[in-house]
Amino acid sequence: MDRNVILDPIHGYIDFDQMKSALFDTPQMQRLRRIKQLGFSNLVYPGANHTRFEHSMGAMHLASLFLKILRENKDSVSAVTDYDDLDEIVVAALLHDIGHGPFSHATEKLIEQYTRKSHDDVRHILTGTEVGDVLNDHGFAPSRIAKHIAGETSVSQILSSEIDVDKMDYLARDMHYTGVASGSIDYMRLLNHLEYFEDKLVLNAGAIRAAEGLLVSRYWMNVSVYYHHVSRISETMCSRACAYLLENQIVHPQEFARLDDTSLMSVLRNDTGFAGEIARRLDDRNLYKRALYTGIESIGLNNIFAQRNRTARIEAEIAENARVEPEAVIIDIPSKPAMAEMKALVMTADGMKKLTDTSLFIKDLESVQVANWKMGVFAPKEHLEAVSKAANDFFEIGSKPKTKQFKFSDILENE
């Protein structure tokens, strides 16, 4: 079969066959060229304009490398219950982001809320589009690929687990395009020391140092890029503007989910109300400012994470107390601080252990990431003082002892 290559700045030459070339050329994959991997992070890091399309190719490449390594290790292959479907995981890696909405995570929750589909639920995309035609023409069942992307098979752990090819690629790629120098990810060592044990993808002890490197990269990307206050403000502004579009039926949820970054901004700009105002602010980088930006230990309100589903009501209450319009207050309460990679299992001479129990360095990262968690209340510059006072009062800032210490296990308790 004829093979082609494409030059990638992260992995060098990536080869692909005619079937993958046909998938590249479908409208559904080409749409990913118009969806930025990092949303609005280019407002902080001007080079962060890479797309979901590039990342999808990179994940496909790493999945191919791992598949080759896995097949050379007969014992590990035999431990996979659905090993007959190993070839499908490379295709799934290429298509795994096909369900993402515009600006990636900025619209993810809204799409789930209005369509009842997560970005990993892509059955409707794979079965009713040109992608499905290509898969069927080359002997791949769209329903099987969809199961891998949804994480419903043991093989899918290659793509979606504590340490997987998806994370390896997007971390390396995001570091490259933002210019954040936080070391390098030794993905070849990780791939060579990942194996299946009792149908579970685990690391062996030879990969601990490489896993530490990956977690350091993840930590620095969290504090420098993913949770940078400008990124959080701009994405939250975009999310509120999109909620306005959906609540006022300016755009249908199914249509909204199919938009890309460019078409979404066009819809926002054409709006004559709140969404249009937010679009102009994003275009001009005239962002809301931090009226309140604080960590867990400063908040007097009990169980701040339980408030994540009622931010609209909190925004309205703060706006009323500040005597400003409701649209002048935007709240961002990030999820509980956690890095999934820390839950990876390591096969040691003393048996199976969690990664955090094999590395004191990684153990220390647990408490550090909690200390760096921040929630924000944002407002236009002209309302900053009033909103700041109202927000501080609502969240009872400073009402409990500053010396109180939080353990990581406390943060991860069920709400």
* Residues 263, 303: Cα–Cα separation, whole Å: 38
pLDDT at 251: 97
Q: What is the pLDDT of residue 415?
A: 38
pLDDT of residue 404: 41
Top CATH class of 3-228 equals mainly alpha
Residues of the chain scoring pLDDT < 50: 401-415
Alpha-carbon gap, residue 198 to 365, rounded angstroms: 29
How far apart, in whole angstroms, are the C-alpha atoms of residue 60 and residue 56?
A: 6
Q: Which residues contact 199 (CB under 8 A, 6 or more apart)?
A: 79, 80, 81, 154
How far apart are alpha carbons 163 and 171 in whole angstroms? Answer: 11
Q: 293 forms bridges with which residues in the sheet?
A: 376
pLDDT recorded at residue 157: 93
pLDDT value for 390: 97
Global model pTM greater than 0.85 = yes
CATH 1.20.1250 residue ranges for the chain: 229-337+369-411
Kindly report, as residue ranges, where domains of CATH 1.10.3210.10 are found in the chain: 3-228
| Per-residue model confidence (pLDDT) at position 410 | 44
Scored b (16 or more CB within 10 A) or e, 267-304 reads bbeebeebbbbbbebbeeeebbbbbbbbebebbeeeeb
Reduce the DSSP state of residue 331 to 3 states and report it: strand
Nearest by Cα to 299 from 409, 224, 413, 406: 406
pLDDT of residue 70: 85
What amino acid occupies position 338? A
CATH of domain 229-337+369-411: 1.20.1250
